[in-house]
Structure 1
């Protein structure tokens, strides 16, 4: 969940901006947080448990072939 949230803030705010200093970046992140918290949305999984588990199994198989 945390990774998804960081991906969202990165895609929607950090990559779109140009920051001349760390304080500028912090200001942009804080602005994003203020806006996001005014209009929070619940994250709803769209994939089934079976779909997620099969993808995990497939990844494990691929990793096992590397060793």
Structure 2
């Protein structure tokens, strides 16, 4: 994900009080491929805002992965 997309997502996420996220989480315990932003706990408004601004969300075993293409 491009740095400006990461900054945009962090800006949206940081406006919420009740959210738990991780950054640069390895996909399979190997840092050659990582999830840039991984949401562990969230509320519906953050999810709606991310989707409405063009972010793609996908559920993984470790949490909800945020991406933008």
**TM-score, normalised by the number of residues in structure 1:** 0.36
**TM-score, normalised by the number of residues in structure 2:** 0.35
Bigger Cα Rg: 1
User: 1 or 2, which has the higher helix percentage?
Assistant: 1
Q: Which has the higher contact order (CA 8 A, sep 6+)?
A: 2
